[in-house]
Amino acid sequence: MIIHPGKLWQLTFTLSDMKKTLSKNMSYLVVCCFLIVLPYDGFMQSFFEINFTTPDRAMVVDGVETQDGDFIFLINNLAYIPGHSHPTLIKTDQQGNLLKTYVIDYYDFIMLSKILSAGDCSYYILGVFASYPDLVYDSLYLSEWTLDLELIRYTEMALPFNDYASLQAAIINSDDQIVLTGSKVMPPAIQSYIYLIDDQFNLLNQVVFNQSANYTRVHSIIEFSNSGLNGYLISLSGVLNSDEGLAKLDSDFNIIEYFSLNPHLNNLGNTTLAKFSDSMYIVTGKFTNTQISLNDIKSLKMDINYNILATNLFGKEPDTIDFPGFLNATAIIDNDNIFISGTSNMNIPQFPYASTPSWFILNKVNGDLDLQWQKFYGGDAHYSVYSIIPSSDGGCVMLGTRYHPNNPTGIDGYILKVGPDGLVSVPEIPGGLQVKEVIVYPNPGSSQLQIQTGHDDLEIMIFDATGKIMTQEKIRQFYHIIPTNAWPSGIYIYRITRNNELFESGKWVKAE
C-alpha cells in the first residue's frame, strides 16, 4: 500500500443569516486531514473532526453519506433559548469542509431525530416539535429535503398523546414507506407508539403500546421480510420490571412475542439493533455486574428465533463506566467489518456537565464479534457518543457531544470521522482540536509531563537530545504524571509503545 499525505484544513468562522446559516453566536471548527490511499481497491480514505458550538448546548444525533460522498448531519439544541434553540442541518464534503448549513427556525423548538434516504435525489428528516410557552412536544415533524439542503415540503402530524414525547428510531421499509417509533417519556404513564407513513406523508397505520411491564419504551426497529417473519423486530425497555427486551411485530405492528434480554443486557435505556442479514441481527446495549464492578458495552449476534450466535464485551480494566451509543451503537460495513461505538469513562452523576475526561471508544469486530482492535479518542474533555454511521471508504463517523469546563454553560456538538483502521492523527495546528488516543501535555511544560489515555497497556520512553533515556515506565490509564523538575530545559523525544510496537511519538519541550 502506498500512502500519499494529503492536505490539512482548519476552518473557524461565524455566520449570521438565521434562516440559512448559523447564528452569530454559533461557530464551526473543522480540523481535518485526508490521506489518498492507493490499495488494490482504489478506496479514497479520509478522516476529520468537527466541533460545533451554539449559545447553549448542541448534540449531533444522526447523519448520512450521500451518493456523491458528501455528508449531511443533524444537530440539535438541547435547551430552549428564544431565538437560538433551533436545529441545524450541515452538509460537508468528504474531508469535512462545510458546504452548506440550514437552521430550522420556523417553530419554537424542534428536536430532530433521523435522516433517511428518500431515493437518489432527496432525504427525509424527521423529529418532534414543541409549542411555546409550555414546550410540550405535541406533534411529529416530517420533512423532505434535496441533496443541497433545500426544503421540498414538510408536514405536521399529531402524536397519540399530548405530552412530552420522543421520536427514537425510523426506517424505510421494503415498500418504501416510513416506519417510525418513539415514546411518551414522562412518568407516570410511559407509552410507545409506531406510525406507518407513505411517501406523501399520509398516515397509514398507528399503534400505541399500552403501559405494561414489557412494552413501555421502544428504542430501535428493523424489518425482516425474507426470514419467516413478515414484519419487524424492536428493542425496548420494560420500565416496570427493569427489563431490556426484544419483540416481534407482524406487518400491522401487533406484538407476536416478547423475549427478555436479561441477564445478557440489563441496563435500561439504549439497547439498539443493526440488521446483519435476512435472518440475523446485532443487539448492542449495556451490561452491568455490580458484584465485580463491571460496566461494559455488550453486543449479541442473534437469529430471528432469539438464538445467541456470538457475544462480546467491550470495556477496560480497571473497570470504567462504558456506555454504548445512546441512539445507535453499531455500523456494519459488511459481514466481516463491523464498528461498535460508545463512551468510555462516562460520568453519570454529572452528565452532561462532567469535568472528568471521557473518550469515544471504537471497537472493530468481525462477523463473529471477535475484537480486531479497540481505540479511544478524546480525553481532553468529556465526550459522549450518540450515534455512529458507516462510510463508503470502509470507515465510520461517530456523532455526539463534547463538554469542556472552560465553557461551563455550553456543550458542543462533535463529529469524528475515521478510516477503516481508525486513523485520526494529523499534524499539530495552533488552535485546532487535536483528538488523539494519547494526550501529552502541557507542551511546553516545566515541572511535570501529564499523559491522558483510555488505554492501559502502553509504555513511554523519553530521551534527551543526546539519546539518553530519561525515564521508561508503564502508563496508567486516564492520568499519568511524570515529574520533570530535575530535568534540564530543552527538547525531549518521547516514544509510546504497545507490546514493543510504536504507538505514538513526538517532541516535548521543557521550558526554563
Give tens-digit pLDDT for 428-477. Answer: 544 456 677 887 878 888 899 988 887 878 899 999 999 999 999 998 76
Q: Which domain holds residue 460?
A: 439-510
Note whether residue 95 is domain-resident. Answer: no
| Residue whose C-alpha cell is 534527551 | 464
Residue 295 and residue 382 share a domain:
yes
Of 381, 414, 447, the last residue of a domain is 414
Note whether residue 265 is domain-resident. Answer: no
Residue 444 and residue 410 share a domain:
no
Give the mean pLDDT of 52-56: 79
Tell me the percentage of the chain whose pLDDT exceeds 90.
48
Burial of 430 by CB count in 10 Å (0-12 exposed, 13-18 middle, 19+ buried)?
Answer: exposed
Note whether residue 501 is domain-resident. Answer: yes
Work out the number of other CB atoms within 10 angstroms of the CB of residue 117. Answer: 14
Task: Give the pLDDT band of residue 215 (cuts 50, 70, 90).
Answer: low
Residue 502 and residue 375 share a domain:
no
Tell me the percentage of the chain whose pLDDT exceeds 70.
81
Residue 473 and residue 347 share a domain:
no
pLDDT at 13 over 70: no
pLDDT at 42 over 70: no
Give the mean pLDDT of 123-148: 85
Of 414, 448, 476, the last residue of a domain is 414
Note whether residue 351 is domain-resident. Answer: yes
Partner residues linked to 235 by β-bridges: 220, 246
Give the mean pLDDT of 70-84: 83
Of 414, 430, 463, the last residue of a domain is 414
Residue 468 and residue 382 share a domain:
no
- pLDDT in the model for residue 350: 84
pLDDT at 123 over 80: yes
* In 196-301, alpha helices (H): none
Instruction: Render the burial of 334-356: b for 16+ CB within 10 Å, e for the rest.
Output: eeebbbbbbbbbbbeeeeeebee
Closest CA to 86 of 130, 27, 48: 130
Asked if residue 506 lies in contact with residue 438, where contact means CB atoms within 8 angstroms, the answer is no
Residue 480 and residue 408 share a domain:
no
- pLDDT in the model for residue 40: 32
Note whether residue 182 is domain-resident. Answer: no
Note whether residue 205 is domain-resident. Answer: no
Note whether residue 491 is domain-resident. Answer: yes
Note whether residue 486 is domain-resident. Answer: yes
What does the mean pLDDT of the chain come to? 83
Q: Into how many domains does the chain fold?
A: 2
Closest CA to 22 of 12, 33, 32: 12
CATH of the domain at 504: 2.60.40.10
- What is the dihedral sign for C-alpha 367, 370, 372, 376? positive
